[in-house]
A = this chain, B = another copy of it.
Amino acid sequence: MTRVGVVGLGAMGGPMAGHALSAGLTVCVHNRTREREEPFAARGATRAASPAEAAIGADIVLTCVSDVPDLREVVLGEGGIIETIQAGAVLVDCSTVSPTIEREIDAALRRRGASLLDCPVSGGPEGAQRGTLTVFVGGEESDVAKARPLLEAIGGTIAHMGPVGAGQAAKAVNQIFLAGAYAGLGEALVFAQKAGLPMERLIEALQGGAADSWVIRNRSSNIVRGAFEPGFRLWMHLKDIRIALTEAETLGVPMPVTALFAELEQRCVEAGYGNDDVSAYARVPRGEV
């Protein structure tokens, strides 16, 4: 029986733990705010008082936290996973962080006979709930095989991208593309509104041609209504894009449009729109930022 320790029960990690339970895996959960563990305990999970406790005896440990300091703390900090993870176990990290920190964590785990798969996901909280996430995986093939029962429970597409760090690089590719797509969407649809075009008919026509895209199909209505409930929070996309920009500098890839989009997202955050959906970038062409 595959035993899974889950650390972090937020908008992403929570549904993932639920899918692990539904798939019949033996699950132990830990969350900094402990009450969040309760609904999972009610479904048969055991509760752990610390990340270290969640990792005891686990074949797979799943982490899904929102930034590098949190990740360092739950893995390498006091009461962290590193203290108890067993030899041969795999840490599946679904956080979106830099390839560099993942390599550092993998090196630390290897000193204990364990190892890492960096598994950032795309698809947002809806995808997490539906179990249809795309999981970009970096790490060794043998570790992917070990983690597969969990990966298939949480994701619709499991895309192995190469060695440790390659999952994060692939996720960065996704976020870079989306920077352009959301910029295009926001500027195009605000232009359309100001030009007085019939939005519904226009959006339908755009979908018939080269502008067809997930963002047009799923995020146009935010801009038309002027309401930007997430979806995927703008500040989190900005965080991801900053990781990508740092990595791009290392790789020697100039990304002028992505860099500009990050600046504009920063202005949106400063104006108080960080917790809105990324499509709230439309406030820039609207002159509201």
Contact = CB atoms under 8 A, between A and B. Distances in A.
The residue among A201, A209, A211 with the most chain B CB atoms within 10 A of its own CB is A209
A79 interface: no
A206 B177 contact: yes
Interface stretch (A14-22, A61-69, A102-110, A185-193): A185-193
A244 B214 CA distance: 23
B285 A255 contact: yes
Contacts of A253: 187, 190-191, 194, 285-287
A117 interface: no
B157 A170 contact: no
A198 interface: yes
Contacts of A190: 253
Interface in A184-230: 184-185, 187-192, 194-198, 201-202, 204-206, 208-216, 218
Contact of A161 (B173, B198, B212, B232): B198
B209 A191 contact: no
A255 B192 CA distance: 12
A272 interface: no
A285 B244 CA distance: 13
A149 interface: no
A160 to B, nearest CB: 8
Contacts of A257: 180, 183-184, 187, 257, 260-261, 264
A166 interface: yes
Size category, A interface: 35 or more
A258 interface: yes
Given A177-B184, A209-B174, A287 B195 contact: no
A261 B160 CA distance: 33
A177 B261 contact: no
Contacts of A211: 122, 174, 177-178, 181, 214
A159 interface: yes
B180 A185 contact: yes
A123 B187 contact: no
Contact of A209 (B162, B188, B214): B214
Given A187-B255, A285-B255, A214 B213 contact: yes
Nearest to A213: B213
Contact of A205 (B159, B208, B252): B159
Contacts of A284: 254, 256
A199 to B, nearest CB: 10
Interface in A255-277: 255-258, 260-261, 264
A169 interface: yes
Contacts of A286: 253
Closest A-B pairs by Cβ, 8 of them: A180-B184, A213-B213, A159-B205, A183-B257, A177-B188, A176-B188, A169-B195, A180-B183
